[in-house]
Amino acid sequence: MTKLGMVILNYNDYKTTISLLESIKDYKCLNLIVVVDNNSSDNSSKYLKKYDSKKIKILQTDKNGGYAYGLNYGAKYLNKQLGKCNIIFSNSDVIISKEEDLKQLSSDIGKHSIALVGPTIVENKSLNRGWMMPTIKDEIKFNLPFISRKYLKEIRYDEEHYQEDLSIVGVVSGCFFCCSGEVLEQIDYFDENTFLYYEEQILSKKLEKIDKQVAVDNKVVIIHNHSVTIDKNINKINKYKILKNSQRYFVENYLYATKKELKWLNFTNKLSLIILYIRCFFKGGLKK
């Protein structure tokens, strides 16, 4: 049986991370759990070190290099320690109902050329079951003030798409998924040129290049307390700027946008940022 490891990324949120550790520390299917503390400033390492054991390894980075950087830190450690393995990547703010769900996701790897599989995710009282890979035009539409939500719906699959046990999709949510460690090494892991956001789209594009599939297991359900850690540590304006920097990097380097398309992307980015500044000003949300 293929070994199974897990990477949990922590940044200034050790209480949420510890809650997840307490719920999974006795799962026999997990050969090794790695918690990567991404250079927290709240003494996270002090509290997390208490969980360091043969089953749980607490790793401390020397800088906060971003989400992809932290995931790579843990994934490379697992590949080295376990050899051929599948790796579950998880935010700390998720609820896993049973051990069998992790086994199921791991067993999906390899079927129909699937190298990455996510569960059905319940967040904000709605279901997140992956989405189509967006085009350049889609990304430009997403930046349009007031009507972006309408266009976001266009890249969602119809309900009929999820009738089978496994559904092939373009992208799955990065908050919780399982990936082949061997394939991850083959594509040179996550692209660390984004600090936060768009890791899922970029990873799917890298898998696409080697003819590997991304899927959702419709039988497995995970609950996600959406963006708890992000909202604690980044204000709205800065979060938006980080998002749009990642968007531009993805569109330019993975969708291969032309100069004209990048100009339109930049224009809509600036327009939506101005609208956000106005909204935050009237709501008193421009604090650093």
Report whether 269 contacts 143 (CB < 8 A): yes
Q: Which two tokens stand for residue 125?
A: 């009282």
pLDDT: which is higher, 64 or 236: 64
282: left (phi > 0), else alpha (psi -120 to 50), else beta?
alpha
CB neighbour list of residue 14: distance below 8 Å, 6 or more residues apart: 37, 40, 42, 43, 44, 47, 48
Superfamily of domain 3-233: Spore Coat Polysaccharide Biosynthesis Protein SpsA; Chain A (3.90.550.10)
**Alpha carbon distance 82, 105 (integer Å):** 18
DSSP assignment string, 66-95: -HHHHHHHHHHHHHHHHSSEEEEEE-SSEE
Rg of the chain over all Cα atoms, to the nearest angstrom = 19
**Alpha carbon distance 237, 228 (integer Å):** 17
Indicate whether 73 pLDDT > 50: yes
Give the per-residue pLDDT at 288: 40
Nearest to 152 by CA among 165, 160, 161, 143: 143
* Region of poorest pLDDT, from 42-46, 212-216, 242-246, 256-260: 42-46
Domain ranges in the chain are 3-233, 236-283
Indicate whether 286 pLDDT > 60: no
**Whether the predicted model's global pTM rises above the 0.85 cut:** yes
Give the per-residue pLDDT at 151: 86
> How many whole angstroms from its chain centre is CA 72?
12
Summary mean pLDDT of the chain: 93
Classify burial at 147, counting beta carbons within 10 Å of its beta carbon; exposed 0-12, middle 13-18, buried 19 or more. exposed
Mean pLDDT in residue range 46-62: 96
